[in-house]
Amino acid sequence: MTVVTLQPTTRQWWLLYAAAVVSFIPTFGYYLVGEEGILVNSSLEMWQRGDWLRLWFYGGDARHGVFANWLIIPMAGALGWEYAPGITRAIMVGATAIGGLMTAGLAYRLYQDKVLAAMAAVLCVTFADVLLYRGWLGYRDPLLGMLVFGAIASLWMAVHSGRVAWLIGTLVFSTCAFLTKGIIAYVFVGAAVLVFLVQRDSRQLLLKPLPLVLAMLTLCLPYLWFHWMIDDQAQGGRMASEISDKLVPLGLGAYVWKLVAYPLETMVRTAPVSLLVPWWLWRNRNRSVNQNHPAASAWLTDRSVVTALVIAGLAFLPFWLAPQSHFRYVLPVLPLLGLAFAVCAARQSEPSRRVLWRWLWLAVGAKFMITTVLFPYYQHRVRGENYVLTARQVLQRTAGFPLYSHDVSAAGLSVTAYMNIQRLPKPVLTFAPAQWDNAFVVSNVADDKLGTVVARYPLGANVLYLHCRGTACDTPAPR
C-alpha cells in the first residue's frame, strides 16, 4: 500500500507527539480529582494487608481488577505514599503514550510509511477527551485502553505477518486487560477476532491448531483466576452484575436521547480531527480517483481502514445501545480511529494536512495553558486543595479516637485518601463495624444511625459530615 508523503516531516510529527505527552506532566502534581481516590485507597490497603490478589477497599473485598494496583503499589511503596496520586497519573499517562506508540508501530507495519505512523501516534494522544482529561486521569480506563489495543494490535500483526507468535501478545495483553477491569476486555478483543475470522486469509491462520490452542488458553485464564488464584467464584458474578446494571432502562425519553447524544458526544470528544474528517468527506464526495490525486475520496475503501472501523464499530455498538454508558468505556477503540483518521489525512491535499497540523498544535498549546494555569487555579479556589485541608481538620478533631469512613462519594474518597496518607503508619480507614462506640465516622450524608453530627465540611457541591458516638462526642473542637 502507498500513501501520499506528508508534510510536515516525520520529525515534526514526533515533536508534536512529544509536546502532547509532555503536556500531561503538570497533572502529576494535582490534588485528587473525581474518583481517583479509589485506586489510591485500595492500593494502600492492599499494601498494608500484604494481599495483592484481592482489591481491598474500606475493609472489604471489592471483587474487582487489581492489575493497575500492581503497578501502583511498588512505586508508591518505594517513593512514598504521599506521591500516590501523582504515581497513579504517571502510570495512566504512560499507558496513553504507549498506546500512541503501539498505533504508530501497527500503522508502519501496515503501510511502511514513517510519517503516517507518526501522525497516527499524534492523533491517539490529541483526541480532545484524551488530551484534556481522560489520558491523565487516575482511573483504570487509560491502562485498559492500552492493554486492549495491545491485544488487538498483536492479533492484527499475527494475521498481517502470518506469524502465530504474535498471538502470545494477544494472550498476555488480554489477560492483563481482564485483570485491570474484568471481562469487558473480551468484548473488544472478541470484536476484533470476529472481524478477522470473516476475512479468508486471516481465517486460514486463526483456525490452525496452535492459534486455537492459544485462543482457548486466553479464554480459560479468567476461570483459572477465579477458581485457582483467588478461589472466589463470586468475583465473576460481581463483574457480570456490573455490566448488567448498565442495561437497566432509565425511561424511553432518556434512552432515545442517549441514542442521539452518544455518537455526537463521541465526535466532540475525539475532536479536532473528528470535525475535519466529515468536512473532507463532504468536499471530496464527487472527486474521482486518479493518478494526480490518489484516492483522496476513497480512503474508506482501504482494507486496513475498513478493518479498523468495523472493529471499532462492533465494539462501540454495545455501549451506544446500552441504556447507561460513558464515553470512557470506549477508550480502547480510539487507537483504531487514530489509525483510520491518519490514513484519511494522508490522502488529503497539502493545505488540508497543514490545517490539521495547526489545529493539533493549537489543542496542545491550549492544554499547556489549562494544565499549568487554569486547572491549578480551579483546584485552589473550588475543589482539590480543600480535600487536603479537610482531611487535616478531621484528623485534628478526631485525634485519640477510632475513625471510620462511610463516604464513597468522589469528594469523600479523596478526603479519605488524604487522611489515610496523613495517618500512616496507622491502618487505612474502613467502614465502621456492626457494633462500635466512642469513635468518629465521616459520611457524605447526615445520618442519625451513625451518631451525632459534630462538624460539617463543605467540599464544593458536596458536604462531608463528621459523626460521633460515646465519649468521642465530648472532645472539644480545635480552634
177, β-bridge pairs: none
b/e string for 138-165 if b means 16 or more Cβ within 10 A? bbbbbbbbbbbbbbbbbbbbbbbeeebe
Q: Is residue 227 part of a domain?
A: yes
Number of domains in the chain: 2
Q: Is residue 210 part of a domain?
A: yes
The one-character DSSP state at 51 is -
Identify whether residues 356 and 417 lie together within a single domain.
no
Q: Is residue 43 part of a domain?
A: no
Identify whether residues 410 and 358 lie together within a single domain.
no
Identify whether residues 429 and 344 lie together within a single domain.
no
Q: Is residue 193 part of a domain?
A: yes
SS3 (DSSP) at 89: helix
Q: Is residue 416 part of a domain?
A: yes
Identify whether residues 335 and 447 lie together within a single domain.
no
Q: What pLDDT, on the 0 to 100 scale, is given for residue 233?
A: 52
Identify whether residues 418 and 351 lie together within a single domain.
no
Identify whether residues 319 and 465 lie together within a single domain.
no
Identify whether residues 182 and 326 lie together within a single domain.
yes
First-residue to last-residue Cα distance in the chain: 73
Q: Is residue 46 part of a domain?
A: no
Identify whether residues 455 and 336 lie together within a single domain.
no
The residue segments making up the domain with residue 455 are 402-474
Identify whether residues 351 and 415 lie together within a single domain.
no
Identify whether residues 177 and 309 lie together within a single domain.
yes
Each residue's pLDDT tens digit in the chain (479 positions)? 444 444 678 999 999 999 999 999 999 999 999 999 999 999 999 999 999 999 999 999 988 899 999 999 999 999 999 999 999 999 999 999 999 999 999 999 999 999 999 999 999 999 999 999 999 999 999 999 999 999 999 999 999 999 999 999 999 999 999 999 988 999 999 999 999 999 999 999 999 999 999 999 988 888 888 877 676 655 555 555 666 666 666 778 888 999 999 999 999 999 999 999 988 888 876 665 444 444 455 677 889 999 999 999 999 999 999 888 889 999 999 999 999 999 999 888 888 888 999 999 999 999 999 999 999 999 999 999 999 999 999 999 999 999 999 999 999 999 999 999 999 999 999 999 989 999 999 999 999 999 999 999 999 888 999 999 999 998 777 76
Q: What pLDDT, on the 0 to 100 scale, is given for residue 231?
A: 64
**What are the Cα distances from residue 339, in Å, to 107, 306, 345?**
7, 11, 10
Q: Is residue 244 part of a domain?
A: yes
Phi, psi of 90, deg, nearest 5:
-60, -40
Identify whether residues 282 and 367 lie together within a single domain.
yes
Q: Is residue 338 part of a domain?
A: yes
Identify whether residues 233 and 343 lie together within a single domain.
yes
> CA-to-CA distance for 404 and 407, rounded, in angstroms?
9
Please name which of 144, 142, 133 lies closest in space to residue 24, comparing C-alpha atoms. 133
Q: Which three cell numbers stand for residue 116?
A: 503516517
